[in-house]
Structures are given as structure tokens and as C-alpha cells.
Chains A and B, each alone.
Chain A
Amino acid sequence: METNSRLQTPVVLPSPPWEERKVRGSSGYATGPVTKAPAWHGLVAWDMLFNGMTTGLFLVAAISELAAPDVFTSVARTAYPVAFVLLLVDLLCLVLDLGDPLRFHHMLRVFKPGSPMSLGTWCLTVYSVPLTATAMIGLLPGGWISLEWVRRLIVVIGFLPALGSAVYKGVLLSTNAQPGWKDARWLGGYLTNSALMLGCAEMLVLSVLMRHVSAAAMLRPALGLLLGLNLVPLCLLAVDLRTTLSRLYTRWQLCGVGTLALGGGVLLPLFLLLVVDSPLSMLSAVMCIALGSLVIRFVIIMLPHASA
């Protein structure tokens, strides 16, 4: 990163020269927020959700199709167009969130790997190419089966930019100066992990809707495992944010959000997935997972606004 060289050798400063003064009254600037909250609101929370859903679905479809083609190819062929539509919705959220949406293409003026938003934009742009190609080939009628190896090659090519598109979002928020976000070392970890979990949940829904019993039977325990795994970065993120959260919210508010996120987004779907064995319970579990993920994203995105 070119500008990081500007951070010069640390200088040890002498003890603070100012004196602690007892001051009457509360006017002044010491207690107010120093940073300005960006105009990122609910649309960004939805963007974060759709970003996870499209990249996660692509990644899980690619992994399943390549690992067990006999079971997953037909479900994966349906998954790519769905991921394409989700990408379009995500891009729409991204564009509408700009101050000047007609200048969206300015994002592609430069490639700055040191800027998570630049890296993310380029990853999404590159990811959209193999995704579009895979989705289009997948929609072709059966006579085009000879293109199957081309489609699989494109899926492999799309793997890395899809992972990059999932990874950048959390780092974009954690590498800035906003209260809460700046302390969230595991935000990128949570969102990437969550993307894969959401992708697995979407694949399960498609398998159920397509009545693909063998695919659903394999994805059900996999989703249970990913739900459990997702708890690890979520807990680490909660530890990162505990100071900010306890400053902003009362114990009861935190209990409410925790119940929604953990109870409704993890424990209830786990119960529905592992104990009740029916298509309806699987669909309900996936709905709960999506809602829980959305709640967590909303809480995260509103942290600087709540601090202001």
C-alpha cells in the first residue's frame, strides 16, 4: 500500500503536558462524538444480506457440484440464476446507497487493493462475469449439454472473486474510525462465515422446492454444522463489541437482540433442522436463519448512528 509508507517511525511522546482540570458545567466538545457517522442505513444492511446470499449461494453450489456432481448438478444449475438475481438486487442496493448513483462507474476508475471498497467493487465486477455466464449456460435447453465442461470451468474461475466479494464487506466496516465498527476485528470473519451458511441454507431451500431428496438429505446436517460454526465468529464479534453495545443499549435491549439473533436465528433453526424432519420445517429454519442474519446486520450497521 503506497500511502502506508507515510506512517513514519513511532515517536515516544513525553508524559501529557496538560493538567487535569475540574470544570463546572457540561458544555464543550469532550463528551460528544468526534467522528461523523456515514449515511449508511437500512439499505446497507440489506446490501450486506444480499451480498452474503449471492456469494454464499454461488460458493456452496460450486463446492457441492464439484464435490458430488451426481447429486447436486441439477440443483446447482438452478442456483446460479438465483445467485445472479440476488447479485442484481445487491448491486441495486449498492448503487442507490451512493450520494450520486449516476457516478457508480467511477468506482472502476482505479484499482486500489488498499481500499476495501475498491477491492470489493472489483471482486463483485469480476464475480459477475462467470456468474452471468454460468447462469446463462445453465438456462440453455438440454441440447447444450456439450457445454457442461465449459460451465464447470467457469464455476471454478468464479470461485476466487466470489470469495473476495464475501470477504471485503466486513473488512470495509472494520477498517474505519466509527465507534463499534473500528473495534470489530471479527466482523469480516462473521460476515464471510455467515455468507457460506446462508448459501447452504439457500441450496437446501432449492433442493426442497425441487424435491431433490438426496441433495436435501446431505445439506440438512451440513447446514446444522455451519450454523454451529457460525456461532464462533459471532461470539468473538460480540466480545469485540461488548463495550460499545453496553454503552449504547440497556441490558433488556441487549437481551432482546440476543434472543432474536441467537434464539430465533440459531437455536430454533437448529431444532427445526435436526429434530423435525419435514420440508416445511426446513423452509421455516431457513427463514429464521435469514431473519436472524438480517437483525444482526441491522444492529451492526446502526452502531455509529446510535453512538452519535
Chain B
Amino acid sequence: MASREVEVAELPQRSEPPSGPFSDIARRLVDPFRTVSPPEPRPATGFFTDTTVCIGCKACEVACKEWNLLPADGLHWSGNSYDNTRALSATSWRHVKFIEQLGEPTPAASVAAPETPLTSSPAFSLQRLLHEPKDGRWLMMSDVCKHCVAAPCQQACPTGALIHNEFENVFIQPDICNGCSSCVSACPFGVVTRSSLDGHSHKCTLCYDRQRDGLVPACAKACPTQSIQFGPIDELRERARNRVEDLHSRGVTTAYLYGDTPSKSYSQLNSFYLLVDRPSVYGLPDSPFNPWLHMKGDYLRAIVSGLTPIAALLAVLFLLGN
């Protein structure tokens, strides 16, 4: 189908905004208060990260940095396996973690056994390779913002910069954030970080710009093993549960989903994980807690503690005044 091209100069142009120091100041003051109608809600999307197939290639980290134009952090020797990213930060929105578990031999059942040997060579057989006890294992996981359904960072944000966008992803509006760090202290996963470059908070946007154009986020697109899967969140949860069942049937009984269902103290995560060890081994909280659950009680205690000295002061003034 032919499309009509329009020269930019032919497009109707808005009149040039006034320039100068006073109009710049006025824009800075007024623009943040301008509101537009929010976009129509779209089906919620998220990530399902299957750590059992992660190979630690860091393609996700690189793709994220490339697409989002994030600067390099420098190459640092962390002393922690192959991890030189060290942590999620304002300039690293993906972080591949490496967990070396050396010591106890891995139970043979924790590795899926093929039904028939693929090769009969006595020197090298896949069966033998998979089943002979090994001295430990190497876990890998690509960490990212969890895009919590009830996100403490979003609840804490006093400027309205942190929102749930139309895809139900937690998104920081960079032109609104003023770097108060409330979100940093509220996040139980240590995801949100204030940048020392611009003073604003940054984290994974779940490639909001790509999603709006119908594209898959850069990390999921780059992942060569489909460890990072992107899609409508209901489909992902279904797919993840099937994967766990499949792993269980193949003998990996330790596989489970982290953040798939809400717990007593925390909501579901729209970016959830398939793990095979304790969450803290991967640097995740074993039982994340939404700090807002304490808020009413904390306010009540504060008010009562404030009213008590007021009553005491009134009593003293009344007694001594008489």
C-alpha cells in the first residue's frame, strides 16, 4: 500500500514557544503541573525469567545498555565469579548473577535425564555427563526490576513520577523525578537507584518505548536461550507453571516460581523467576515485605506519642497556673 510522505516543513507547525530566561523559568515551574489524559489500559505484560536455562552470556545486559543508551560502568574485578556488574544501578538495569556452589555433589535427580542415550560412545555419553556426580553447580540469573503489582516505590513517590503505565509496568517519568530517593529506600529488592550524573532515580522501563511500538524488550529479544521471556502476564504465568511441572516430572523437584503468586506480605511480581534454590542465594529476599503494611499503626503510634506530651504540658500549665 502506497503511503503519502509529507515534508516536515509542510506539517502544520505550532508557533515557536517564547524563549529567554524568564520563559525558561516559567516553563520549569508550570510544565510539571500540566496533565494529559492517560493512555487506554492495555493487557498487562511482564517478564518470566527461567534461571535453569540461563548461560550467563550477558547479552541481556548489553542489549539493555545499547537500546536505552546507558553508559558503561567500567570493568571492575568483583571477586564474585564472573560477575563484574555487581549490582543493579542507575546505569545497569539488567544484572546477570553468577552463583558458584562448590562442595556437596549435586544430586543426580536434580538434572533432567533424557529417556534414551543420545550417543553410545563409552568415552563420551550425554547420559554419563548428566548423571555422574559433580562437585557443585553454577547457578545463573538475569536480575531486573520486579515490576511489583503493588510496588512500594510507586507508593512512596511523592511527585507522581513513578506510575504504573498502561501495560501495568512500573515506570519512572524522567522529567518529573526530583531525586528524593523515597523509592530507593522503599524498594525491598534494591532495584531503584539514584544516579550521581543527573540526580534522578532510574531503573528498568520494561522497554516502554519498544512495547508501544509492538516490539519485545531488548533483553528478551537478545536472550539466546529464552531464559528471559516476555509477554502478556497471564500467558507467562501459565507457561511458567507448565515449565515447573515439566521440570518436576523430569526430576528437578527443587524448581519453583518466585513472585508468581502473592504472599501474606507482598503482592505478585510482574517480573517473576523460576529458581532452584533459596531466594537469598540469588540475592532476593526470602520473604519480601511491603513496608506500607505498617503505615497505619506507625501513624497511630506517632500521633498518640505526640498527644501525650501535649496533655502533660496542659496539665502542668493548668496545675501551676492555679
Compute how far the CA of A222 lies from the CA of B319 in the bound complex, rounded to whole angstroms. 11
Compute how far the CA of A36 lies from the CA of B301 in the bound complex, rounded to whole angstroms. 27
With A167-B306, A196-B310, A226-B309 known as contacts, the answer to whether A177 contacts B185 (CB < 8 A) is yes
Compute how far the CA of A274 lies from the CA of B154 in the bound complex, rounded to whole angstroms. 49
Compute how far the CA of A175 lies from the CA of B155 in the bound complex, rounded to whole angstroms. 11
Closest to A59 in B: B310
Is the CB–CB distance between A217 and B156 below 8 Å? no
Taking the complex as formed, is B151 at the interface, i.e. its CB lies under 8 A from any CB of chain A?
yes
Taking the complex as formed, is A273 at the interface, i.e. its CB lies under 8 A from any CB of chain B?
no
Chain A residue numbers with a CB within 8 Å of B320 are 217-218, 221
Chain A residue numbers with a CB within 8 Å of B282 are 29
Chain A min CB distance to B56 (Å): 14
Q: List 26 A-B contacts (CB under 8 A).
A: A6-B150, A6-B267, A18-B275, A19-B107, A21-B104, A21-B277, A22-B104, A25-B100, A25-B102, A27-B80, A29-B283, A36-B184, A36-B190, A37-B185, A38-B185, A163-B306, A166-B306, A170-B298, A170-B302, A175-B295, A177-B185, A177-B187, A188-B302, A221-B316, A226-B313, A229-B309
Is the CB–CB distance between B178 and A222 below 8 Å? no
Taking the complex as formed, is A102 at the interface, i.e. its CB lies under 8 A from any CB of chain B?
yes
Chain A residue numbers with a CB within 8 Å of B266 are 7
Chain B min CB distance to A10 (Å): 4
Within the complex, which residue of A7, A32, A233 is in contact with B267, where a contact is CB–CB below 8 Å?
A: A7
Binds B, one of A113-121, A242-250, A280-288, A289-297: A113-121
Chain A residue numbers with a CB within 8 Å of B201 are 99
Most buried by A among B180, B189, B309: B309
Is the CB–CB distance between B290 and A7 below 8 Å? yes
Taking the complex as formed, is B74 at the interface, i.e. its CB lies under 8 A from any CB of chain A?
no
Compute how far the CA of A104 lies from the CA of B32 in the bound complex, rounded to whole angstroms. 11
Compute how far the CA of A11 lies from the CA of B237 in the bound complex, rounded to whole angstroms. 16
Chain A residue numbers with a CB within 8 Å of B317 are 63-64, 67-68, 218, 222
Is the CB–CB distance between A171 and B185 below 8 Å? no
Interface string of B170-186 (1 = CB under 8 A from A): 00000011111110111
Is the CB–CB distance between B80 and A28 below 8 Å? yes
Taking the complex as formed, is A211 at the interface, i.e. its CB lies under 8 A from any CB of chain B?
no
Taking the complex as formed, is B149 at the interface, i.e. its CB lies under 8 A from any CB of chain A?
yes
Most buried by A among B32, B302, B304: B302
With A36-B187, A36-B192, A99-B199 known as contacts, the answer to whether A60 contacts B313 (CB < 8 A) is yes
- The total of interchain contacts (Cβ-Cβ below 8 angstroms) comes to 305
Is the CB–CB distance between A8 and B267 below 8 Å? yes
Chain B residue numbers with a CB within 8 Å of A209 are none
Chain B residue numbers with a CB within 8 Å of A40 are 181, 185
| Residues of chain A from 42 to 94 with CB closer than 8 A to chain B in the complex | 59-60, 63-64, 67-68, 71
Binds A, one of B208-216, B225-233, B254-262: B254-262
Is the CB–CB distance between A117 and B180 below 8 Å? yes
Chain A residue numbers with a CB within 8 Å of B299 are 167, 171, 188
Interface string of A101-123 (1 = CB under 8 A from B): 01111110110101111100100
Is the CB–CB distance between A196 and B104 below 8 Å? no
Chain A min CB distance to B67 (Å): 24
Most buried by B among A10, A106, A173, A221: A106
Taking the complex as formed, is B120 at the interface, i.e. its CB lies under 8 A from any CB of chain A?
no
Chain A residue numbers with a CB within 8 Å of B224 are none
B interface, how many residues as a size bin?
A: 35 or more
With A32-B283, A100-B198 known as contacts, the answer to whether A105 contacts B316 (CB < 8 A) is no
Question: 17 additional contacts, CB 8 Å, given A99-B199, A103-B177?
Answer: A3-B150, A6-B149, A8-B149, A18-B277, A20-B278, A21-B104, A24-B136, A30-B278, A34-B283, A68-B317, A106-B159, A174-B294, A175-B186, A177-B186, A177-B289, A188-B301, A226-B312
Taking the complex as formed, is A200 at the interface, i.e. its CB lies under 8 A from any CB of chain B?
yes
Chain A residue numbers with a CB within 8 Å of B192 are 36
Q: Can you list the 8 inter-chain pairs with the closest CB atoms, starting with the nearest?
A: A99-B179, A99-B199, A29-B283, A188-B302, A189-B305, A103-B178, A118-B158, A6-B150
| Residues of chain B from 1 to 59 with CB closer than 8 A to chain A in the complex | 28-29, 32-33
Is the CB–CB distance between B193 and A36 below 8 Å? yes
Is the CB–CB distance between B321 and A100 below 8 Å? no
Most buried by A among B104, B182, B303, B316: B316
| Residues of chain B from 130 to 173 with CB closer than 8 A to chain A in the complex | 136, 149-152, 154-161, 164
Compute how far the CA of A20 lies from the CA of B261 in the bound complex, rounded to whole angstroms. 23
Chain B min CB distance to A74 (Å): 16
Is the CB–CB distance between A105 and B32 below 8 Å? yes
Is the CB–CB distance between B150 and A4 below 8 Å? yes
Is the CB–CB distance between B151 and A3 below 8 Å? yes
Is the CB–CB distance between B305 and A233 below 8 Å? yes
Taking the complex as formed, is B194 at the interface, i.e. its CB lies under 8 A from any CB of chain A?
yes
